[in-house]
Structure 1
């Protein structure tokens, strides 16, 4: 199962990269045609909105597959391991429920209602904007089921460890210099 999850996560990451690259190109063309050519592109704004929606949902599914989503788990990490597992199983069940009802079923309804509404500047319907919701919902539900099984069986920790060793702690560390050396260097420069 983890091989399947890894393969799907890589595919979603690749798709997110492609969507982002196309979004950047379309947005650059939109700015160039408006500011340089003084002839605004009629299709680029609509396409960039569609790409942004798709990137948001595909990127969210990718992030969920990586278990990189935002989680307020400070209190949960203080509980005993067995309680953490139970709590994480409940959370994953709620995620599956939301993905099935909210994203897959709700997204299907939204896409089917808007399927015949034509976009003004593109030869597509508004349904193409909404169809990504159930697609992302399928991936999120699948990832939640895989995580649920892995956590319940003890193959995976309920809350993965976060490696903060490479993250800067303050502005001086971020800039990569020692403030005392900077002060000494500026004092020498004044002399």
Structure 2
């Protein structure tokens, strides 16, 4: 299934980002304390990798349904109302991902690209760093739509026998 492939790609990217972050931080420590020659480039790389690691981790957690969820209210609802609440939650996730992450993140990428903003040490275009936000927003929206459709497809089974 397509969702499984996307999850596997996210997991592989997380491994790569984690290893790269670890290597960068270890090199920064070696440079600072053993060689007594700290590098501002490795500090900046570690910061950018941490941004990407956080965004991709959040996306992976969402894809695996491991994100924090408070079901204090929905657990007390009838099964049919739980289905309705779940649909509302997935729709809210779609709206958030598309409006804040994709649209808002896309604006941030476009503005920084237009202004030609670059990072201080690496002179890397900042739009490259910020592009993780709309990309992850699209992936989250994809998973939320997938979960919503999955819930609609299985709804008759879930609400059988519910007389509310």
TM-score (norm 1): 0.78
Corresponding residue for residue 130 of structure 1: 130
For 1:70, which of 68, 71, 76 is the aligned residue? Answer: 68
Q: What SS is found at the alignment partner of 2:125?
A: coil
Q: What SS is found at the alignment partner of 2:40?
A: coil
Structure 2: gaps spanning 5 or more residues: 159-164
The structure with the largest helix share of the pair is 2
**Structure 1 segments of 4+ aligned residues over 6 angstroms from their partners:** none
Supply the distance in 1 between the matched residues of 2:40 and 2:51 (Cα, whole angstroms).
Answer: 19
Cα offset, 1:17, TM superposition: 1.1
Deviation by residue 1:31-55 (Cα, 9 ceiling, x = unmatched): 1100110000120011111101111
Matches within 5 A, 1:40-189: 40-115=38-113, 116-154=116-154
Corresponding residue for residue 161 of structure 2: none
Supply the distance in 1 between the matched residues of 2:90 and 2:52 (Cα, whole angstroms).
Answer: 24
Structure 1: gaps spanning 5 or more residues: 159-191
Cα offset, 1:15, TM superposition: 0.3
Deviation by residue 1:46-67 (Cα, 9 ceiling, x = unmatched): 1111101111111111110000
Cα offset, 1:136, TM superposition: 0.2
Supply the distance in 2 between the matched residues of 1:73 and 1:10 (Cα, whole angstroms).
Answer: 28
Corresponding residue for residue 27 of structure 2: 29
Supply the distance in 2 between the matched residues of 1:106 and 1:150 (Cα, whole angstroms).
Answer: 28
Name the larger-Rg structure. 1
Supply the distance in 1 between the matched residues of 2:66 and 2:79 (Cα, whole angstroms).
Answer: 20
CA RMSD, aligned part only? 1.5
Q: What SS is found at the alignment partner of 1:43?
A: helix
Supply the distance in 1 between the matched residues of 2:111 and 2:34 (Cα, whole angstroms).
Answer: 39
Supply the distance in 2 between the matched residues of 1:103 and 1:32 (Cα, whole angstroms).
Answer: 37
Query: Which structure's relative contact order is higher, taking Cα pairs within 8 Å and 6+ residues apart?
Result: 2
Corresponding residue for residue 170 of structure 1: none
Q: Mean Cα displacement is larger for which, 24-33 or 113-122?
A: 113-122
- How many matched pairs? 155
